Amino acid sequence: MNEHPSTPGQCFEEVRTLAERALELACQHATPPVPAAFEVWFAYVGGHHPIIRTRIDRAIACDGTVTAALIHRLHAEHLAPAGVSAGVERIGDRMDGELVQAVGLIEEGMAASDRYAATVRRIDSSVHSRTSEAELRRHVAELRQANREHVDRVSQFGERVMGLRAQFTSMQTELRELRQSVLIDHATQLANRRRFDEALETLIARARRERADLAIVLADIDHFRPFNERWGRTTGDQLLMRFAELLRQRQREGDLAARVGGNEFALLLPARSLAVARAMADDLREQFSRLQLVRAGTGERVASLTASLGVTTLRPGDTTLKLVARLEDYVLRAKEAGRNQIWSAE
């Protein structure tokens, strides 16, 4: 138990210290002075988002700096994209309107049913052994009219309910598409880092529950930055898409291929042993090294690249963070050993 809780003044000082440190780092790495960038750096110095901290630490260790592009990706992947928030808000507004209509429709239907029931009760109470034939005919005519009106109202009610159902189905589809857009890397159409993190947590839990294997491959394209500088971003994007296609070709049902960074990709391979994952990684490495690209617009043959890969399997006591950190360490060791290699200590 904490016997000395922080006072409001102490909390303010702590937050201000974190904010100052975040601004200092933003200036140090020449990050554009925009709110999204500050949000990423604040999450980094606060230590409450381990994935952001790991990726920034790794960028600093490898390159000595953190690019604006990485900051943008980290915000888009981990700190709620504004476009999706706006989409959800738009659908929420529509849903509010449809719910108001639905409630109004239900209330209207209940009132109509009450009126019909009241008419039937009134006629029933009016009919007795001394009711004349003329009165009976009048009551029957009134009841038939009330019945026709009730049938018409029920028919209209059904049509309006079907319309509301169609609207709700449309909104459900839009929400699914919005969620999908949050989880997809739009450049390669693979899963993005957020989807990878979610899937990894789920697969870890499943592997432990079922006492099954779980293998993970992490790949980093070698010398990608100078390649981009030499051949341009369009050709760089073309290379990323070709690498993504190689990953897709190796997926089976239940696997997940993801782009987890600028030139980093991952494969989640449930129920796969280390030996199988290593063989798959080696085949991927070999096929990628043989890839031939032609520069769009000029037809010029582009220099081939290689990839360094790390492979591991789930161990007792592993968390998502431990697994990812181990894989990133393996990739770093593969690069230090000369690149175009696979590293796995198991």
* Spatial distance between the Cα atoms of 300 and 231, rounded to a whole number of angstroms: 10
- Give the contacts of 312 (CB within 8 A, at least 6 positions apart): 215, 216, 274, 323, 326, 327, 330, 344, 345, 346
Task: Identify the band that residue 156 occupies on the pLDDT scale cut at 50, 70 and 90.
Answer: confident
Q: State the pLDDT confidence band at 288, using cuts at 50, 70 and 90.
A: very high
Question: Which region among 182-196, 208-222, 312-326, 327-341 has the lowest average model confidence (pLDDT)?
Answer: 182-196
| pLDDT of residue 5 exceeding 50 | no
Q: What are the structural domain ranges in the chain? A: 8-78, 82-182, 188-343
Q: Which of 111-120, 279-288, 307-316 has the lowest mean pLDDT?
A: 111-120
pLDDT (mean) for 78-91: 57
pLDDT tens sequence across 187-237: 788 998 888 998 999 999 999 999 999 999 999 999 998 998 888 877 888
* Entry pTM: 0.56
Higher pLDDT, residue 121 or 243: 243
- Which residue did the predictor score with more confidence, 24 or 257? 257
Q: How far apart are the two ends of the chain, measured CA to CA in Å?
A: 41
Regarding predicted confidence, which is higher, 76 or 38? 38
pLDDT at 95: 66
Q: Are strands 264-270 and 256-259 parallel, antiparallel or unpaired?
A: antiparallel
CA angle at 264 for the pair 183 and 284, rounded to the nearest 5°: 105
> Which residue in this structure is represented by tokens 């769009």?
296
7-66 tens-digit pLDDT: 444 456 677 788 888 888 888 887 766 677 888 898 888 876 777 888 888 888 877 778
Is residue 163 within 8 Å of residue 101, measured between CB atoms? no
The span from the CA of 301 to the CA of 279, in Å, is: 29
What is the model's pLDDT at position 92? 62
Total count of residues recorded for the chain: 346
- Distance between CA atoms of residues 308 and 264, nearest Å: 10
20-24: long-range contacts, CB 8 A cutoff, minimum separation 24: 21/45
Q: What is the pLDDT of residue 62?
A: 77
Q: In the prediction, which pLDDT does 140 show?
A: 84
- For residue range 113-126, list pLDDT tens digits in order: 888 888 888 888 88
Cβ-Cβ contacts under 8 Å for 346 (sequence gap 6 or more): 274, 312, 313
Mean pLDDT taken over the chain = 82
Q: Higher-confidence residue: 205 or 302?
A: 205
The pLDDT value recorded for residue 2 is 41
**Look-up of token digits 């899937």:** 199
- Segment 129-137 mean pLDDT: 80
Please give the class, per CATH, of domain 188-343.
alpha beta
> pLDDT digit string (tens) for 172-187?
676 666 666 667 887 7
Q: What is the 3-state secondary structure (H, E, C) of the chain?
A: CCCCCCCHHHHHHHHHHHHHHHHHHHHHCCCCCCHHHHHHHHHHHHCCCHHHHHHHHHHHHHHCCCCHHHHHHHHHHHCCCHHHHHHHHHHHHHHHHHHHHHHHHHHHHHHHHHHHHHHHHHHHHHCCCCCCHHHHHHHHHHHHHHHHHHHHHHHHHHHHHHHHHHHHHHHHHHHHHHHHHHCEECCCCEECHHHHHHHHHHHHHHHHHHCCCEEEEEEEECCHHHHHHHHCHHHHHHHHHHHHHHHHHCCCCCCEEEECCCCEEEEEEECCCHHHHHHHHHHHHHHHHCCCEECCCCCCEECCCCEEEEEEECCCCCCHHHHHHHHHHHHHHHHHCCCCCEECCC
